[in-house]
Amino acid sequence: MMYTTQMDAAKKGIITEEMKIVARKENMPEEVLREKISRGVVAIPANRNHKILSPEGVGEGLKTKINVNLGISKDCCDIDEEMKKVQLSIDMKAEAVMDLSSFGKTEEFRKRLISDSTAMIGTVPIYDALGFYDKELQDITSKELIDVVEKHAKDGVDFVTIHAGLNTATANVFKRNKRITHIVSRGGSLLYAWMELNHKENPFYEHFDEILEICQKYDLTLSLGDACRPGCINDATDACQIHELMVLGELTLRAWEKNVQVIIEGPGHMAINEIEANVLLAKKLCHGAPFYILGPLVTDIAPGYDHITSAIGGALAASAGADFLCYVTPAEHLRLPNVDDVREGIIACKIAAHAGDIGKKIPGSRDWDNEMSTARQALNWKRMFELAIDPEKAIRYRKESMPENADSCTMCGKMCSARTMNKIMQGKDLNILRDDS
């Protein structure tokens, strides 16, 4: 039996090879996974032209996935340097890499990314439009914007961010409701500017059916972008953010009717007490579609440390039901991240995702922690390093300050609680002050 997309196959009762791989990774029965994909609550972004992809599932009941943003810009256009970040991301087991390149002819980088990456690849086609056509934004036509989407799909991109929810009605809500940071989404601001300069409807909204046809052709997953995501905690959960979310919910149903998989993108910056409500609202208004969230950053005062503000929000969001976390690096708001920034961002995001999995009770999510706790109590340093989320850093810290007694660390020495309890529980002498071990 033939099928066009993963969702089409799922609705027809077909278990694809991608579904089999994801089911094994998630330790989930294939039929359970197929049923979730058929309802749209799980997506497997897998463009049929991405030949070396190792498929991943995003959505209900699955482990929280993480995405790494990178790409060339006018000030930093070294493709080889970006490819180092790509390889690092794959080595560190990030499930997705998103190419946010915004300068020049980006096709070379995008094609290298797709040919070399086993992780799923995302893009934001409107970033590429100015360089692709070598035109000012106002002069690019609706058709040309849609054509860039098809170009990315044909190249093998697994999911694309399309800001289709910023229609004229949403724009008018934005105009009537003052914000501190206006529209901070790069793609959203470009689209809003295009609409204002040309006095026209958002072409991604107006021609949404054409985009769905492209998605069917290549099995391209739509990541419905949040153009009106808040850029500071003051702007969170306001009228234009919620209006856009309602539009995205309507577009989700239209996509599912055409068997196109959908991921919903979410905020940005948000006070810590609003996170759970926002996740629940997005899931409700968008019919349980997988939820992809940037952070959220829980405070605006920490440039240089936004991988931390993001991880706090990401852990809470994942615990409340968010399915996909976009990493934030220490360089957020300051510059393009370097390789070390990318590493720090990935580690922080992986911690947040894992903490979220524990919170939403993903089967087996506590096993890793229990193994680490067992190794800690046994003072089994080798095993602790093997289990560490960043073994290199853990080993370096240990070597930088070696204790007199190998079964302790330089924080507590022979007063180590684990050492004390191990000896007492085994009926041994404690000998804290004596030189013998």
| Class of CATH domain 43-359 | alpha beta
Percent of the chain with pLDDT over 90: 86
Consult the annotation and say whether 228 binds a ligand: yes
pLDDT (0 to 100) of residue 104: 67
Quick one: CA torsion of 137, 138, 141, 146, rounded to 10 degrees?
Answer: 40
Query: Any idea what DSSP says for residue 63?
Result: P
Distance CA 57, CA 156 (A): 18
Instruction: Report residue 74 as tokens.
Output: 């006018």
265 in a labelled binding site:
yes
State residue 436's pLDDT score: 63
Nearest to residue 83, comparing CAs of 102, 46, 110? Answer: 110
Residues 92-100 have a mean pLDDT of 96
The ranges assigned to domains in the chain are: 43-359, 367-425
pLDDT confidence of residue 431: 82
The type of residue at 239 is A
Known binder of ligand: residue 163?
A: yes
Q: Check whether 105 has a pLDDT greater than 70.
A: no
CB 356 within 8 A of CB 318: yes
Percent of the chain with pLDDT over 70: 99
Annotated binding residue at 307?
no
Q: Which residues of 353-368 are buried (b: 16+ CB within 10 A; e: fewer)?
A: bbbbbebbebeebeee
Query: Does the annotation flag 333 for ligand binding?
Result: yes
Question: Quick one: pLDDT at residue 408?
Answer: 82
For range 403-422, the mean pLDDT: 87
Section 235-264 average pLDDT: 98
Say if residue 185 carries a ligand binding annotation. yes
pLDDT at 433: 82
Check pLDDT > 60 for residue 59: yes
Closest CA to 274 of 231, 316, 241, 219: 316
CB atoms closer than 10 angstroms to residue 254: 14
pLDDT beyond 80 at 246: yes
Q: Is 286 annotated as a binding residue?
A: no
Q: Is 416 labeled as ligand-binding?
A: yes
pLDDT of residue 30: 98
The confidence score (pLDDT) of residue 403 equals 87
Q: Would the annotation count 186 as a binding residue?
A: yes
Written as six digits, the tokens of 185 are 């989404």
| Residue 215, CA distances (Å) to 209, 277, 372 in order | 10, 31, 43
CB atoms within 10 A of CB 180: 11
Between CA 335 and CA 338 the distance in angstroms is 9
Residue 41's pLDDT band, with cuts at 50, 70 and 90, is very high
Contact criterion met (CB below 8 Å) for 295 and 334: no
- Please tell me whether 229 is known to bind a ligand: yes
182 belongs to an annotated ligand binding site: no
Mean per-residue pLDDT over the chain, rounded: 95
pLDDT in tens, 276-325: 999 999 999 999 999 999 999 999 999 999 999 999 999 999 999 999 99
Alpha-helical regions (H) of 335-435: 339-359, 367-377, 381-387, 391-400, 417-425
- Compute the average pLDDT of residues 261-278: 97
Query: Any binding-site annotation on 69?
Result: yes
The token pair that represents 60 in the structure block:
């209900």
Say whether 227 counts as a known binding-site residue: yes
The answer to the question of whether 187 is labelled as a binding residue is yes
Place of tokens 């507590």: 412
Across 123-137, average pLDDT = 91
**For 333-391, how does the pLDDT look when each residue is reduced to its tens digit (9 = 90+)?**
999 999 999 999 999 999 999 999 999 999 999 999 999 999 999 999 999 999 999 99
